[in-house]
Chains A and B, each alone.
Chain A
């Protein structure tokens, strides 16, 4: 019985090692670094007469190998001392992240400032703001002030869109 318990305990110890946060993070770093390392082998090489010191791919290769090696060291250190990650990410984080995507899509397809307004209203609302005036402030009034500042004082021209074209036309 004691042996079984010991084995169960041992399994519990081994399994989280590979499914731990440190493993996942280091795995992602190593995979991305390996892909980039592979890419460095596709870089053009200069003939020896033009080669000043080292080939253009050598330096990034050395960096990527360094990142991979150090990441593995970090992983092995994490076995002794597991990482302490605070908590699961709240919904507000995912909504903020999604609003970045919405901003990027709306900013390109419809209008740059409409994108900012939508992001502002989404972030503000889902972070807890319910008062209409303040939502109006962050979504309409403030972006308008920013637009006027950049357009008139800094002389910047923003990309065209359904709202900015009204102003530019």
Chain B
């Protein structure tokens, strides 16, 4: 009961409600614009969150996350281009249905299933995050090391890019985290005589560079892309027969999405693809899939929005990001001095339940805005890239500069923008770099502290059952995607 009161606290705070409304609207706009999305948008807004208190900052980021994930469906349905990668599966049936003159029905189904999926996942978050955090009380340095390794090996199975390339990108991210003074001995590493690098490379220039600037370069190669828009009159609530057809699919996909989201480094994209394929497998009319099936839309959208709450579980309970956007949210937590983990649940329940409540409200808000404003949001896709991206560049540069008022940060941002572009071009996902950067200090720190405890004997790791379990899971996480790929090749 006390926790429920804490969850509803944002409703009583005008400041948090303003932040929520702004975050939801901003998230929807980002979700609608192809190439942006909640991850890039979260990265762009990170510097601005420094002016907010920690709760407002994280509420803003989570609202962007929830609404942005849904927003991708609007462009998926109307222009056959997913606003976010998580909405890719929505295109398969959303656009064909829109072409039949039922864009309103397609968007209505996407809105309802996204909202149900999102709310379902927040309930999962409320119940499972504290349980996982309780488990983390049993963790010492060796267990955290093993957990961080597990989080990193999960990079291998991220949907985008090949498993080995993802591991290279993750190792690159960890390598970036070693730049600066060694935290145990104060010895300089990779500083190249530049004093400003002694403190290490900040998260924000790297995040903004890898997501926003690299996307700007990517967009410069896609100028000849033409979108075919389908007209939208109004969003329609699904009919009773639609509900009868899809309620099991929505519930199943909500469960799938929440579960996939909980797995470290997985996210909405994988969830929506699995949600869609499971919807097709269990459907009475699988032949309708790909031709405008409402079950297909429901399966994909419920799953990708359910992954939002699921992905927040390991992020808040263990400090291991559950997806690309939660990596940005975790960055927000760290720069605001909030360390996720069991202590956060014990010491700051008002903070945590404030986040849970805000996510719940954000899901309701994007339902309202999506239902009544989809037509307006759809018009945002008309803003041409030739005007949009120079503006995003101006905001990125000023936001990055504002952190420590250093031009070095701006150059680092541009440098990582170029690196990010080439990584994506040659099939290396940039998400593992961010996850590696965030987990790098945890990996190295816990490894070295464990070795101090074990007096340098590496074999002592095998005497810790939880650590061994995570090592075995890591091995499975490494081998499974390779086997899956081999099987699909065959």
Query: Which residues of A does B touch, CB under 8 Å?
Result: 21, 25, 29, 36, 39-40, 43-44, 46, 50-54, 56-57, 59-60, 63-64, 66-67, 70-71, 73-74, 77, 83, 85, 89-90, 92-93, 95-97, 100, 103-104, 107-108, 112, 116, 119-121, 123-124, 127-129, 134, 137-139, 142-143, 146-147, 150, 153-154, 156-159
Q: How far is the CB of B167 from chain A (nearest CB, A)?
A: 6
* Known pairs A70-B171, A83-B426; A90 contacts B189 (CB<8 A): no
Measured between alpha carbons, how far is A74 from B450 in the docked complex, in Å?
A: 32
> A51 CA to B182 CA in the complex, in Å?
12
B164 near A73 with CB under 8 A, answer: yes
From A36, A74, A137, give the contact of B164 (CB < 8 A).
Answer: A74
Which residues of chain B are near A156, meaning CB under 8 Å?
A: 398, 401-402, 405
The residue in B188, B391, B447, B449 that gathers the most chain A C-beta atoms within 10 A of its C-beta is B391
> Which residues from B are CB-within-8-Å of A46?
185, 187
B229 within 8 A of A: no
Give CA–CA (A120, B190) in the complex, Å.
33
Contact A150 B386 (CB under 8 A): no
Q: When A and B form their complex, which 3 residue pairs have the shortest distance between CB atoms, in order from nearest?
A: A53-B451, A120-B390, A127-B386
Bound CA span A36–B208, Å: 24
18 contacts between A and B (CB under 8 A): A21-B426, A39-B190, A44-B188, A52-B185, A52-B452, A53-B450, A54-B447, A54-B451, A56-B184, A63-B171, A70-B164, A73-B164, A77-B164, A83-B426, A100-B418, A124-B386, A124-B390, A154-B51
- The answer to the question of B475 belonging to the interface, with a C-beta cut-off of 8 Å to chain A, is no
Contact partner of B223 among A64, A108, A127, CB < 8 A? A127
Is the Cβ of A124 less than 8 Å from the Cβ of B448?
A: no
Chain A binder among B214-222, B278-286, B365-373: B214-222
Cα A108 to Cα B394 in complex, Å, equals 16
Given contacts A43-B189, A46-B185, A90-B223, contact A104 B414 (CB under 8 A): yes
CB <8 Å contact, A70 and B220: no
Residue B260 is within 8 A (CB to CB) of chain A in the complex: no
- Interface SS of chain A: helix, strand, loop or mixed? helix
State in angstroms the CA–CA spacing of A34 and B291 once bound together. 52
For window 381-429 of B, CB contacts with A under 8 Å fall at 384-387, 389-391, 393-395, 397-398, 401-402, 405, 407, 410-411, 414, 417-418, 425-427
B402 pairs with A150, CB closer than 8 A:
yes
Query: Do B387 and A138 have beta carbons less than 8 Å apart?
Result: yes
13 A-B pairs besides A96-B216, A154-B51, A156-B398 with CB distance below 8 A are A40-B189, A43-B189, A44-B188, A52-B448, A53-B448, A56-B187, A63-B178, A70-B168, A93-B217, A123-B390, A128-B384, A129-B384, A154-B48
Total number of B residues with any Cβ neighbor in A under 8 Å: 56
Q: Is B134 an interface residue (CB 8 A)?
A: no
Assess whether A90 is in contact with B426, with CB atoms less than 8 Å apart. no
In whole angstroms, what is the CA distance A97 to B185 when docked?
39
Q: Taking each of B184, B221, B386, B391, which has the highest tally of chain A beta carbons within 10 Å of its own beta carbon?
A: B386
Q: Chain A residues near B188: list those with CB within 8 A.
A: 43-44
CB distance from A70 to the nearest CB of B (A): 5
Closest A residue to B395 using CB positions? A146
Name the residue in B216, B398, B450 with the highest tally of chain A Cβ atoms < 10 Å from its Cβ.
Answer: B398
A59 pairs with B178, CB closer than 8 A: yes
The 8 Å CB contact of B398, one of A29, A90, A150, is A150
Assess the B217–A96 pair: CB atoms within 8 A: yes
Question: Shortest beta-carbon distance, A47 to chain B, in Å?
Answer: 10
Q: How far is the CB of A132 from chain B (nearest CB, A)?
A: 13
B220 lies within 8 A of A100 (CB): no
Q: Determine if B393 and A89 form an interchain contact, defined as CB atoms under 8 angstroms apart.
A: no
Cβ A44 vs Cβ B426 within 8 A: no
Q: Given the complex of chains A and B, what is the CA–CA distance between A157 and B398 in angstroms?
A: 11
Shortest CB–CB separation between residue B140 and chain A, in angstroms? Answer: 15
In contact, A57 and B164 (Cβ under 8 angstroms): no
CB A157 to nearest CB in B, in angstroms, measures 7
Verify if B9 is at the interface (C-beta below 8 Å from A): no
CA distance A56 to B180 in the complex (A): 11
Contact, CB under 8 Å: B164 / A56? no
| Complex contact B223–A123 (CB within 8 A) | no
Whether the Cβ atoms of B221 and A108 lie closer than 8 Å is no
Once A56-B184, A96-B217 are accepted as A-B contacts, the answer to whether A116 and B175 lie under 8 Å apart by CB is: no
Interchain nearest-CB distance for B152 vs A (Å): 11
Q: Is B277 an interface residue (CB 8 A)?
A: no
